[in-house]
Structure 1
Amino acid sequence: MVTKIIHIDMDAFYASVEQRDNPELRGKPVAVGGSSKRGVVAAASYEARRFGVHSAMPSAIAARKCPDLIFVKPRFDQYKKVSLEIRDIFHEYTDLVEPLSLDEAYLDVTSNKKEIPSATIIAREIKSKIKNKTGLTASAGISINKFLAKTASDLDKPDGLSVILPHEAEKFVEKLPIHKFHGIGKVTAKKMNGYGIYNGADLKKWSVLDLVKRFGKMGEYYHKIAFGQDDRQVNPNRIRKSISSEDTFEEDLTNMNEMEEAIREIAKNVYQWMEKNQIFGKTLTVKIKFADFKQITRSKTLPYLITDFTSMTEIANELLATVNIENIGVRLLGVALSNLNHDNKNPDGHQLTLDF
């Protein structure tokens, strides 16, 4: 049986929710995020994207590109509510739903609850129900695996529906520019260009061994997708690998006391999530972005779970102290916790450490 995968991607989700809820924003360039000089765009409406505004762009640059840009503060509770409404629609067709974020998900509809033989028909029905229930549009990609379905959903946005049929897959990938491959970012694409790899046909010429030599363990994945292959299953029980929080400051921090206080507030967000979900971790990472946008991370892994806020802040500050940042200027700090205890619900990890 041919596997049938659908990738649903909501169109400019956060911005579209804001335009839906506030008629005055409709048809206007909207950016969800902070409007301050240190703010960052979380999402941009399609009207804003025409001016080159996109997510993760500094707000100051976005405002220069689009002088009429309207900044709206994010309402994540509302976005989550709408996302759950959309997810309910997915589950009308299959329980094999793998959310990637609030605005996108994979669905395996090879066998589905309504016994509809065509994945394309299912995708059309889902798009229609999302529009009727939420007033929002979604783009859908349909194919035989996750890589191709994800790629297809980007072909005809917004409100698009694209299908890559099994017999078309390899030829389609051969013509696909390397920077449009899902899983190949800008830095890797540029590196590949340096090796003469500009599209899928170029990538196919490389052996697994040569790709691994130059790109590490991801080389195996790149070799497979060059042939349109992806054996990853749709996983409805996807486990979160880390929890993180970060903050960009209005003014660069140059004083260690200020940085330690900022780290404390950022770590508090991570700890509150940990405590609420009773999920803790062993590896703590501090992220530092300097005024010149250079970015570094420092990590520490313990033999037991970090379960209290005091320990978390002490370790974070200890990592911060290993970097010479006085008077350099820090524009962003972040804290992340990984090595989470999904399989061990006893948070007192240090009590489980035994001597042999």
Structure 2
Amino acid sequence: MNETPPRKIVHVDMDAFYASVEQRDDPSLRGRPVVVAWKGLRSVVCAASYEARTFGIRSAMPALRAERLCPDAVFVPPDFVRYRAVSRATREIFARHTALIEPLSLDEAYLDVTANQSGLPSATAVASAIRDAIREELELTASAGIAPNKFLAKIASDWRKPDGQFVVRPREVDAFLAPLPVAKIPGVGKVMNGKLAELGVVTVGDLRTLALPALEARFGRYGRRLFELARGQDDHPVVPDRPVMSVSAEDTFSLDVPIADTEAAIRRLAEKTWAAALKTPRTPRTVVLKLKTSDFRILTRSHTPAHPPTSCTELTDIALGLRDKLPTDDAIRYRLVGVGLSNFGTPDEAAAAVLQADLFAAG
């Protein structure tokens, strides 16, 4: 039987995208530590230039902390209208090579170039051509990962940042993955990393020593996913125009806290969620608040206002209002809180929903 040839997947990731656009459009910012963030006590960093990253500044960091790390940093408010326009231009470049484009956000996308339409001889050549066009036409840089599947391509795109690319060929998968920290696997955050460390798992190679039944018994369905990814197995195809269904941000407290002590985290997570929602062309209508108790019970509350939230302030106010609907018993402790947006639609769909709600109210 003939085996299906491996896919050729390219993951393109723009380098420090928002900050790079700001530096491109304002020559006075070039070579300086630039932080893209709104002003405010609870604001978080949307992006940091590579000059700012040398001071330890990273995306999603509180803006006040970034200012302490680099007092000379230039803070610039985000301009998502401009970023979306540049993002569309990058996708026009992608489309010269393949119709199989799956955007993940404004600044990154998966491309399936197994059969590219530009006639180039390899996926590596396609990635190089895309990066060259981005540099020449948009005056920006991008990094790329080339691999047989999406999981590996995304890891590879980070390998030679900024302005580089890295290839993981099918025969190189095992050697590439084995020494990597297990935290490189999607879904292995701080908490999961700790659970795996308790099992003696630090690297992907360590993870391979655990049998599938043991992983499933410990982690359920995610245990199978861990087993597969540790072996470089990922059959998920590139899906063009995948609609955004929801965005969210959550955080686990170092110590369990009463509900009264969750406000600061909710405000911070609302900021992160709002920034993520602005990266999509679709409009969210429903706000979701999630809390997990110390005994792992999950409580969720949601609200769909007549008019979609139009600012981070509105999102935060709704999320805090949802919190007020939860039990206020101080004996209940919470280990995790999350803020999300869902029920996404196009701007026209959102406007139609608002009109319908207004007519209903008027009637």
Does structure 1 residue 298 correspond to structure 2 residue 300?
yes
Q: Which runs of 5+ in 1 are unaligned?
A: 247-253, 289-295, 327-331, 350-356
Q: Decide whether the 8 Å contact of 1:245 with 1:336 is kept in 2.
A: no
Q: What displacement does 1:109 show?
A: 0.2
> Structure 1-normalised TM-score?
0.75
CA distance in 1, matches of 2:283, 2:307: 13
Contact 1:5 1:119 in 2 (8 A): yes
- Counterpart-to-counterpart distance in 1, 2:64 and 2:284: 37
The alpha carbon displacement at 1:187 in A equals 2.6
Cα separation, 1, equivalents of 2:214 and 2:95: 42
Indicate the residue corresponding to 2:232 in structure 1: 228
CA shift, 1:140, in A, is: 0.4
Structure 2 distance, partners of 1:170, 1:206, is 16
Of 83, 102, 108, the match for 1:104:
108
Aligned to 1:337: 342
Give me the whole-angstrom Cα distance separating, in 2, the residues matched to 1:227 and 1:277: 36
1:171 aligns with 2:186: no
What do the CA deviations read for 1:204-234 (whole angstroms, capped 9, x no partner)? 1112222223233221111111111110000
Structure 1 residue 176 displacement after superposition: 1.2
Relative to 1, partners in 2 of residues 1:117 and 1:244: Cα closer, same or farther, differing over 3 Å? Answer: same
Q: Residue in 1 aligned with 2:157?
A: 153
* Structure-2 separation of matches of 1:30 and 1:278: 29
* Percentage identity across paired residues of the two chains: 43
* Partner Cα distance (2:174, 2:23) in 1: 39
Q: Hey, what's the Cα distance between the residues in 2 that align with 1:173 and 1:106?
A: 20
Residue of structure 1 equivalent to 2:311: none
Structure 2 counterpart of 1:191, from 189, 192, 195: 195
Match of 1:45 among 43, 49, 66: 49
> Secondary structure, in 3 states, of the residue corresponding to 1:100?
strand
- 1:88 and 2:92 are equivalent in the alignment: yes
Instruction: Choose 83-92 or 317-326, whichever is displaced more.
Output: 317-326
Deviation per CA, 1:94-125: give whole Å up to 9, x if none: 01000000000000000111232300000000
Deviations 1:37-81 (A, max 9, x none): 322111111111111100011111111111211111000100000
Count of aligned residue pairs for this structure pair: 310
Distance 1:214 1:333 in 2: 24
Residue 23 (structure 2) aligned to one of 19, 42, 63:
19
Aligned partner of 1:56 in structure 2 is 60
Kindly indicate whether the alpha-carbon contact (under 8 Å) linking 2:244 and 2:282 is maintained by their aligned counterparts in 1: no
The CA distance in 2 between the partners of 1:245 and 1:21, in whole Å, is: 30
Letter in 2 for 1:104: E
User: In structure 1, what residue type is equivalent to 2:107?
Assistant: D
Give SS of 1:99's match.
strand
The residue that corresponds to 2:306 in the other structure is 308
* Counterpart amino acid of residue 150 in structure 2: K
Take 1:334 and 1:230, find their aligned partners in 2: how far apart are those partners?
29
1:30 — aligned with what? 34
Residues 286-331 of structure 1, C-alpha deviation per residue, up to 9 Å, x if partnerless?
A: 268xxxxxxx963259xxxx58349x999984653224399xxxxx
User: What is the alpha-carbon distance in structure 2 between the residues aligned to residue 66 and residue 202 of structure 1?
Assistant: 38
Q: Which amino acid aligns with 1:299?
A: R
Question: What do residues 231-286 of structure 1 show as CA deviations (whole Å, max 9, x unaligned)?
Answer: 0000003132225799xxxxxxx9xxx99xx9xx99xx9xx99xx969866xx512
Retained in 1: the 8 A contact 2:37–2:46?
Answer: yes
Secondary structure of the structure 1 residue equivalent to 2:178: helix
Query: Could you tell me whether the CA contact under 8 Å between 2:246 and 2:340 is conserved in 1?
Result: no
| 8 A contact 2:146–2:153 mirrored in 1 | yes
Task: Provide structure 2 residue ranges, at least 5 long, that are not aligned to the other structure.
Answer: 251-259, 292-297, 309-314, 331-336, 357-363
Q: Does 1:324 align with 2:328?
A: yes
Aligned to 1:124: 128
| Cα distance between partner residues in 2 of 1:229 and 1:238 | 22
CA contact (8 A) 1:285 1:316 kept: no
**Is the Cα contact below 8 Å between 1:285 and 1:297 reproduced in 2?**
no
Residue identity in the other structure for 1:336: L
Cα–Cα, structure 1 residues 243 and 197, in superposed 2: closer, same or farther, change >3 Å? Answer: closer
8 A Cα contact 1:316 1:335, kept in partner: no
Q: CA deviation at 1:162?
A: 0.3
